[in-house]
Amino acid sequence: MKLSPPKPFDMPRFALLIEYDGRPFAGWQRQPDRPSVQGAIEDALAKLETGPHTIAAAGRTDAGVHATAQVAHCDLTRDWTPFRLSEALNFHLKPNPVSIVGCAQVAGDWHARFSADERRYLFRIFSRRAPLTFGAGQFWRINNTLDVAAMQAGAQHLLGLHDFTTFRSTMCQAQSPVKTLDELRISQIAHPNGTEYQFHVRARSFLHNQVRSFVGTLERVGAGAWTPDDVLKALLAKDRAACGPVSPPQGLYLAGVGYPDHPFVD
């Protein structure tokens, strides 16, 4: 585990609650030649105080992935009030689709990533044959309806402590594929123009592409191409080739981060 270098104790640390549309960005992480959410926020911070600034987030989202409740922290030299800091950042973040929806001063040793004890993701699928107009880029649109009961039966095999080699990217840098999945709940919402399926996923931490691998595999179960027991077979195979198709990124949202002493009302 690589920790951030120590900071001077007279520098106040602020936690930021962040919402963003991932479509224009190459992901959360700052990149030298492509737009990123981290880069946009650090550029906004540089308008307030001379940089360079480096912020740390609870999780790094991929290109096209959204967030309704990302958490990051930053260290500043001025003792800003949280309200004025969030207002100033939102002003300088324009026109990026990024909003600071919460700001709080935290202890100097509080860390957005390492202090977290839970991450929650939401994946949204919309079923209809016509292309999406208002939800384009915010759902995975499919043509067929899905069997929620079958998908939930398949999801039950994934709950608990497992070796999730099958469901992680070959580029995953985690030292171990063993994780504990605390929740994978699927709900269905009827709309006048189609059906929405929501996948609520919760764990302390996740492997790279783990949620999208779950959703792509369970979609095959819901469509009738796989049985629920096929999910168990894929899990036990501990082989990436046994995974179903990986879902596209645009339906995925980082929907919450848990802390023992949460700086925001969650």
Q: What is the pLDDT of residues 20-55, one digit of tens each?
A: 999 999 999 998 899 999 999 999 999 999 878 999
Q: Is residue 79 part of a domain?
A: yes
Asked if the model's pLDDT at residue 9 lies above 70, the reply is no
Q: Is residue 67 part of a domain?
A: yes
**Cβ pair 59, 68 in contact under 8 A:** no
Locate tokens 């602020």: which residue? 14
Q: What are the tens digits of pLDDT across the range 197-251?
A: 999 999 999 999 999 999 999 999 999 999 999 999 999 999 999 999 999 999 9
HEC profile of 97-109 = CEEEEEEEEECCC
Residue 4, pLDDT score: 52
In single-letter form, the type of residue at position 44 comes to A
Residues 22 and 134 grouped into a single domain: no
Residue 21, pLDDT score: 97
Domain boundary among 98, 115, 132: 115
Q: Is residue 2 part of a domain?
A: no
From 86, 35, 75, select the one nearest 52 (Cα to Cα): 75
- Extended strands (E) in 4-63: 13-20, 56-57
Three-state DSSP class for 255? strand
Q: Is residue 152 part of a domain?
A: yes
d(CA 146, CA 228): 13
Task: Please tell me the pTM assigned to this model.
Answer: 0.93
Q: Is residue 149 part of a domain?
A: yes
Q: Could you give the residue numbers annotated as active site?
A: 62
In single-letter form, the type of residue at position 163 comes to D
Domain containing 39 equals 13-115
Q: Is residue 1 part of a domain?
A: no
**Can you give the CATH number for the domain in which 23 is found?**
3.30.70.580
Predicted confidence band at 162 (pLDDT cuts at 50, 70, 90)?
very high
182 vs 78, residue with greater confidence: 182
Q: Is residue 4 part of a domain?
A: no
